[in-house]
Structure 1
Amino acid sequence: ARFCEARVWAGFNQVSSGMDKYADYAKGHDLKNRMPLWVKPDRKLTVRDVIGMMRDYYQGTELDMTKDVGAGPYQSIVRWRPMTWKVDGETYFHERAISTQQTGFSFVAQSRGWLPDPVGGILWFSVDDTYSTVYVPMYCGITQVPETYAVGNGSMMEFSDNSAFWVFNQVSNLAYTRYKDMIADIQKVQSALEGKFISYTDVVDKAAVELYQKDPAKAREFLTDYSVNQGNSTVMRWKELYRYLFTRYLDGNVKVKDGNNQNPKVKFPGYDESYYRMIIEKTGDKFKYQGGSH
């Protein structure tokens, strides 16, 4: 239950009240109190709501992955595999959330039956870790995919700096080194892009339907151009983001532009107090400062 049903419980918990009574089941403690196979959401869900479900790491619950020792000094939601390990003959495990670094691709399918088929279906498609990715609208009527998302552009053992998979992995894997700080910068760009796509949807739908009524092939061409352009431009924006993050957080410091000066202001944020306390608990006075210059 902890590895599979807990993820389902987390998704249900975001959209349906009353899931607290199944928390023990999700944790594997009370398997007799089985949760339902499905729930009715408390409200009609939007695309943004469902994307939010894909980004669940048990936040807001006692299983929140940023709150246990495995989160490290930067409140990471990542736990490296294997999922289980043994100490002194006892088996332990990492949480397995919906959002995971090992995601190859994910999508949210949006079906609007009142629109012509090529227009009515959208796959909000993404690659890599759901928490730090961008969901890009791919209309089901498109006749080709963006070059940056195409099969054959790189592989699992062949890096391509023009491949969405590899570019998004560059950003996410860099962020894992200083998560709580970098994820905030990532989410600003993520939110701007997804917000733009969502706000454009009605306009794109309307234009595509008008074209479809005159020439279905032209409508498909229009939708293909739109989805291809959004996909490719998103990857280009993510490459810019990688360069920004790499420069800003180089060597564990945080650099801030200082007006027109060539050199930036440099901050040394250090760790949270809780992490420093953990060091003291483990080492006692080993690192206690005794005075003198430093």
Structure 2
Amino acid sequence: MIKKISLVSFALAFLSVQVFACTNFLITKGASADGSTMITYAADSHELYGELYYQPAADHPDGAMRDIHEWDTGKFLGRIPEIAHTYSVVGNMNEHQLAIGETTFGGREELASQEGAIMDYGSLIYVTLQRAKTAREAIEVMTDLVDEYGYYSSGESFSVSDANEAWILELIGKGEGERGAVWVAMRIPDGYISGHANQARITTFPLNDSDNCLYSKDVISFAREKGWFDGKNKDFSFSDVYAPVDFGGARFCDARIWAGFNKVASGMDQYTEYVKGDVEHGGENNFPTNRMPLWVKPDNKLTVKDVMNMMRDHFEGTELDMTQDLGAGPYKLPYRWRGLTWKVDSVEYCNERAISTQQTGFSFVAQSRSWLPDPIGGIFWFGVDDTYSTCYAPMYCGITETPECFRVGNGDMLTYSPTSAFWTFNKVTNFTYLRYDLMIKHVQATQASIESKFIEYTPAIDQAAQMLYEKSGAEKAREFLTTYSDNEANNMTAQWEKLFEYLLVKYIDGNVKKDNDGKFVRNEYGLPAAPDQPGYPEWWYDAIVKSTGDHFKVNGEAGH
């Protein structure tokens, strides 16, 4: 008999959803308009500062060791030997166009800790980016590292891409008493897209197709030993055994993937009830029967702008639209302050968990292009704060330093810096949240203008960098790209500061000042024209009266 996963396990998985809530999409060459591969990542944490990590390439002497610190907390975990040469890394992309993202799914609580383990999920990413050139090599490095040094984190889904392939790797530790992890990796078929968002997504997988599927030798036998699976090997489902989907996994996690898919692919309506949390079970193993597929084919090939827009969503136009329920308030704010669930009269209710959320530290679209030299082919489109209102700036993977606005040490979560993009973008978003329906339009217009310019300039920048690469060598090309990336990111941040100043003047104190094309209007005497005072929508006043009765009723003539 199969042992059922405990309620404690579900509680731990749910906690992981709240604390480590991130979103990834994977785009294959055949699904992109220009033949590039792309992966996305939103690092959603209330404690994570938005900054762009950088590690230069380096040579290491024999016997050199590397300290491993847990990415989330900074806790020292141990040391591992360095390799002779490590590659340069910009954010989550290295100089060979290899990119890695992640989302935490948690999984069975008895597998969440491993005494003496050194490699947490963040260290796996950043160590591997310094050691691997391709997605397949990265999977080998990551799984070898956890086998040798143990796995410190709970269950993780990783997006792994290079200039030719995109893979999803799902991995969970073996718990106390055993070192390492069990895992499955699947290559996304060319022409398709995939995604994951804090819920394990790989179910059944081919057992004899090493071109498209890799897995640990004991991924099935380990589950059998624990009593978690007793069916046929061909029916083994990684997710349903190691991280079963429940209401939270569907509503808070897979719903985000559904929303992203829904922007670019037809037929997603059939999964609406599932992503609302209605998980149906059946079959010999009683696994879910109405889950979304791991990958879908988009209706049209996707541009980098399309992929950026997949990361900008509050379920608009669907049954879960966060701008339409009472919680959005009078100004259609699609954000809900935490916690994720709440109770009324002992009945538990939930807020929606969308792709775009207020607590994002940073996000990216990593684009790898096989027809260009590696330092030029990889563009790490990087943004800070809320994905809906960020700007993705082009950080070429061959750059040799990061812009001041993104630089590590330029402010932190407790230290404001006027030159930090994270703080500048947060000034805009947090002010915008006050009168969202009016102010977000200005944010989107500025965002579209800046990103369109970046995208329009890309072919010319590519061409100039390639000419330098061929005539003067890689270092000159890297120098050029570093200057370009630096200038554009810092200029973007300066434009965002100007946007904040405009919004503050125009919308201060609930008023709306008149302006023509950004220039504020004065009266015939040179004083500011009287502002508009739009007040609240009629339905909001109706809701107040229904809630308070005659408490605010005016008896007699109202004064001023």
TM-score, normalised relative to structure 1: 0.97
- The residue identity in structure 1 corresponding to 2:444 is Q
Hey, what's the Cα distance between the residues in 2 that align with 1:15 and 1:98? Answer: 15
- The residue identity in structure 2 corresponding to 1:2 is R
Q: Which residue of 1 aligns with 2:360?
A: 103
Hey, what's the Cα distance between the residues in 2 that align with 1:2 and 1:64? Answer: 13
2:513 corresponds to which of 232, 255, 266: 255
1:283 equivalent to 2:545? Answer no
- The residue identity in structure 2 corresponding to 1:131 is Y
Q: Which residue of 2 aligns with 1:243?
A: 501
- List gaps (5 residues or longer) in structure 1: none
1:204 corresponds to which of 461, 464, 473: 461
SS of aligned partner of 1:225: helix
1:182 corresponds to which of 439, 450, 458: 439
* Partners of 2:400 and 2:479 within 8 A in 1: yes
- The residue identity in structure 2 corresponding to 1:258 is V
Q: CA deviation at 1:188?
A: 1.2
Hey, what's the Cα distance between the residues in 1 that align with 2:273 and 2:454? Answer: 39
User: Kindly tell me: are residues 188 and 265 of structure 1, through their superposed partners in 2, closer, same or farther at Cα, counting changes over 3 Å?
Assistant: farther
Q: CA deviation at 1:5?
A: 0.6
Identity %: 60
* Partners of 1:50 and 1:108 within 8 A in 2: yes
Hey, what's the Cα distance between the residues in 2 that align with 1:269 and 1:290? Answer: 24
SS of aligned partner of 2:382: strand
Q: Which residue of 2 aligns with 1:144?
A: 401
Which deviations, in whole Å up to 9, do the C-alpha atoms of 1:227-259 show, x marking residues without a partner?
000100111111111111111111111112225
SS of aligned partner of 1:249: helix
SS of aligned partner of 1:181: helix
- Return the structure number with greater strand share: 2
Q: CA deviation at 1:110?
A: 1.1
1:7 equivalent to 2:256? Answer yes
Q: CA deviation at 1:287?
A: 2.2
- The residue identity in structure 2 corresponding to 1:172 is T
Q: Which stretch of the first structure deviates more once superposed, 107-116 or 252-261?
A: 252-261
TM-score, normalised relative to structure 2: 0.52
* Partners of 2:363 and 2:383 within 8 A in 1: yes
* Partners of 1:128 and 1:169 within 8 A in 2: yes
Q: Which residue of 2 aligns with 1:233?
A: 491
Which deviations, in whole Å up to 9, do the C-alpha atoms of 1:144-165 show, x marking residues without a partner?
1100100000011111111111
- Return the structure number with greater helix share: 1
Hey, what's the Cα distance between the residues in 2 that align with 1:83 and 1:236? Answer: 34
Hey, what's the Cα distance between the residues in 1 that align with 2:452 and 2:538? Answer: 35
Hey, what's the Cα distance between the residues in 2 that align with 1:239 and 1:12? Answer: 33
Q: CA deviation at 1:264?
A: 3.1
1:267 corresponds to which of 496, 515, 532: 532
Q: Which residue of 1 aligns with 2:312?
A: 55
1:29 equivalent to 2:292? Answer no
Hey, what's the Cα distance between the residues in 2 that align with 1:282 and 1:65? Answer: 22
* Partners of 2:522 and 2:528 within 8 A in 1: no
Hey, what's the Cα distance between the residues in 1 that align with 2:539 and 2:484? Answer: 48
Runs of 4+ in structure 1 over 4 Å off: none
- The residue identity in structure 2 corresponding to 1:158 is T
RMSD (CA atoms): 1.2
- The residue identity in structure 2 corresponding to 1:155 is D
Q: How many pairs were matched up?
A: 294
Query: Which protein has the larger Cα radius of gyration, Structure 1 or Structure 2?
Result: 2
- The residue identity in structure 2 corresponding to 1:217 is E
Q: Which residue of 2 aligns with 1:135?
A: 392
Hey, what's the Cα distance between the residues in 1 that align with 2:546 and 2:429? Answer: 31
